[in-house]
Amino acid sequence: MIKKKIIVSGIVQGVTFRKHLMVMALALNINGYAKNLNDGKLEAVFIGKKENVDKMLEFCKKGPLLANVRKYEISDFNGEIKGFSIK
């Protein structure tokens, strides 16, 4: 199990980014969350098997069709989360 946090900037709010992450997380058995930040960025935490977390991170680097990801920062996450939620 690995735990990662990603902050994504660009056009990432109002483009169904969080909804896509929720669907993927449920399919890949990922715990964590996705939330919009006040500064226009998106923050997400993924906890699960390495290969599944890697899939989530790869998706975040491009985002859904209407998104325009300009930058992302990935870091380790310390903590426990059960399930996946949109905040």
70 is catalytic: no
Catalytic residue among 18, 38, 70, 78: 18
CA pair distance 82, 10, nearest whole angstrom: 28
Angle of CA points 39, 41, 33, to nearest 5°? 120
Catalytic residue among 29, 31, 36, 52: 36
CB 33 within 8 A of CB 26: no
Q: Which residues are catalytic?
A: 18, 36
